[in-house]
Amino acid sequence: MSPSKSKPLKTEPDPKVAAPQEPYVEKVDRRSAMAWVGVVGAVLAGGAGVVVYGEYREGRPKAKGYGTDPKLAKPEKAPWPRIMTAAQLQAAALFADYILPASGSAPAATALGIPDFLNEWVSAPYPDQMKDRAILLDGLEGLRISSQRRWGVDFAAASAGQRQALLQALAAAKPKTTAHTFFRRMRALVVGAYYTTPQGFKDIGYIGNVPRTSDPGPSEEVKAHLERAFQKLGL
């Protein structure tokens, strides 16, 4: 079903795959993307193979959420500072487009600003998002280190083939491993963020959210589909 299951794991860059794309440019202005450079630097200095973002997990510095009475009709931008480094944002962008590259008239994930969303998500001061913060930022850092070790370049600077090899390895990782969890969470977030946009609606076939004077119910075509299903199910 998935390409990674049927194909052998790539260890060498595939020359047929295109070179790195243009760097991702944020769709919104960034407030404090470099806030965590010091932390990342410290981890690298230690040369650790396992990256642990203790500070991220404990949620410091304490950022404020949007509160219990945010404006709903015209929502304001999420107020917390963004914590991804420029390198993490680039890696997230490349990963997002690996999951959902452009296809026909459907845009790529980066064209819809999905990396900004990922940054908003991992920066949020709420428990679910802070859990993902550790998974995603550790994962992106793991990608960076793996790329460095294997090819001597950062993930974001690696060739498309090199990146693909690393991402396919993630997808092929055994369930419940850190790598697999990272892949599944990243993909779930990218997919969720993508299909909640109007372009995503179009791609998945959501045609609602328009005012109507009545609800006519299902079409004859839909009813015929159901009748075939009932026959098959013996209902």
Partner 1 sequence: MTAEPYDVIIVGSGAGGGMSAYHLTKSGLKVLLLEAGRDYDPRIETPMFNTNAEAPLRGVGTPDKPFGFYDATVDGGWQVPNEPYTVAEGSDPFIWWRPRMLGGRTNHWGRIALRFGPMDFKPRSRDGLGYDWPITYDDMAPWYDKTERLIGVSGAYPPQSLTNTPDSPDGCLMASAPPRAFELFYGRAFKAMGIPVIPMHGAVVTGQMEGRNTCLFATPCGRGCAIGANFQSTTVLLPPAMATGNLTIRTNALVYEVELDRSGKAKGVNFVDRKTGEHHSASAKAVVLAAGSGETARILLNSKSAKFPDGLSNTHGMVGRYLMDSVGLGVTGQFPELENLPPTNDDGQGTEHTYIPWWGYDKHKALGFPRGYHIEIGGGRGMPSMSVARLLEEGDVSVGDDLRATLRRKYGSTIGFNGRGEMIPNDDCYCELDPGVKDKWGVPVLRFHWKWGESETKQAAHMVSTFLEVIDKLGGKPLGKVERDGRKAISKGGEMIHEVGTARMGASDRDSVVNQYGQSWGVPNLFVTDGAVLVSSPDKNPTLSIIALAWRSSDHLATLAKQGALS
* Binding segment (CB under 8 A) for partner 1, from list 16-24, 39-47, 150-158, 198-206: 198-206
Element at 51 (helix H, strand E): none
Segment near partner 1 (CB under 8 A), from 16-24, 42-50, 141-149, 186-194?
186-194
Q: Residue 131's CB: how many other CB atoms inside 10 A?
A: 12
Binding-site string for partner 1 from residue 206 to residue 225, where x marks contact by CB under 8 A and - marks none: xxxxxxxxxxxxxx-xxx-x
Quote the CA–CA distance of 203 and 194 in Å, as a whole number. 10
Alpha carbon distance 50, 43 (integer Å): 9
Please tell me whether residue 193 binds partner 1 under the rule CB under 8 A.
yes
Do 146 and 91 contact (CB within 8 A), yes or no?
no
Cβ 183 vs Cβ 160: under 8 Å: no
Q: Which is nearer to partner 1, 55 or 203 (by Cβ)?
A: 203
| Contact with partner 1 (CB under 8 A) among 15, 47, 67, 152 | 67
- Binding part of the chain for partner 1, among 1-9, 19-27, 49-57, 133-141 by CB under 8 A, reads 1-9
Residue 228 exposed, middle or buried by CB count within 10 Å (0-12, 13-18, 19+): exposed
By CB under 8 A, tell whether 22 contacts partner 1.
no
The CB-of-208 to partner 1 minimum distance in angstroms stands at 4
